[in-house]
Amino acid sequence: MEIINTIGRRKTSVARIYMKPGNGEITVNKRSIEQYFPFDLHQIVVKQPLSLVGVDGSYDININVDGGGIKGQAEAARMAIARALCEFDIEHRSALKKEGFLTRDPRMVERKKPGRRKARRKFQFSKR
């Protein structure tokens, strides 16, 4: 009974997971997934790789997430779970890659530039 340890990232969120064969119990930061992600959509995002390859309820997953917001954390956890499924069975890789679960989303927040209010917003121009 081996435990697979993988990492997933999205924006500034980092998710580290520990996955082992079990009965489908998912904990996030020592809380149940329903407590940590009360919005159903985020729970669905986390479970997407499991349902895609048809192994829903056959792995116990312990997720540690840090940084970013709720959506970024959910998508980081999705990426980590997809990577762990590839380590358990290499045949899952093609289906997960086709859906884009193994690709890190490179979009980040643009930095604030000097002389501006935000990243692109300039101060109001006054002609007189």
pLDDT recorded at residue 57: 87
Angle between helices 40-53 and 70-88 (to 10 degrees): 10
pLDDT recorded at residue 5: 95
What confidence tens digit (pLDDT) does each residue in 5-17 have? 999 999 999 999 9
Compute the distance between CA of residue 40 and CA of residue 93 in angstroms, rounded to an integer: 26
Domain of residue 44, residue span: 4-99
Closest CA to 29 of 65, 60, 4, 5: 65
pLDDT recorded at residue 1: 63
What confidence tens digit (pLDDT) does each residue in 20-78 have? 999 999 999 999 999 999 999 999 999 999 999 999 889 999 999 999 999 999 999 99
Q: What is the CATH number of the domain that holds 70?
A: 3.30.230.10
Q: Is the pLDDT of residue 116 over 90?
A: yes
Mean pLDDT of the 107-126 span: 93
pLDDT recorded at residue 102: 94
Mean pLDDT of the 89-95 span: 92
Compute the distance between CA of residue 86 and CA of residue 73 in angstroms, rounded to an integer: 20
Q: Is residue 111 part of a domain?
A: no
Residues 104/39, Cβ–Cβ less than 8 Å? no
Sheet strands (E) in 49-115: 59-66
Q: Which residues pair with 62 in a beta bridge?
A: 18, 27
Tokens 């959910």 locate to 74
- Supply the pTM of this predicted model: 0.90
Q: Is residue 41 part of a domain?
A: yes
pLDDT recorded at residue 51: 94
Closest CA to 28 of 53, 61, 56, 51: 61
Instruction: Say how many domains are in the chain.
Output: 1
Q: Is residue 121 part of a domain?
A: no
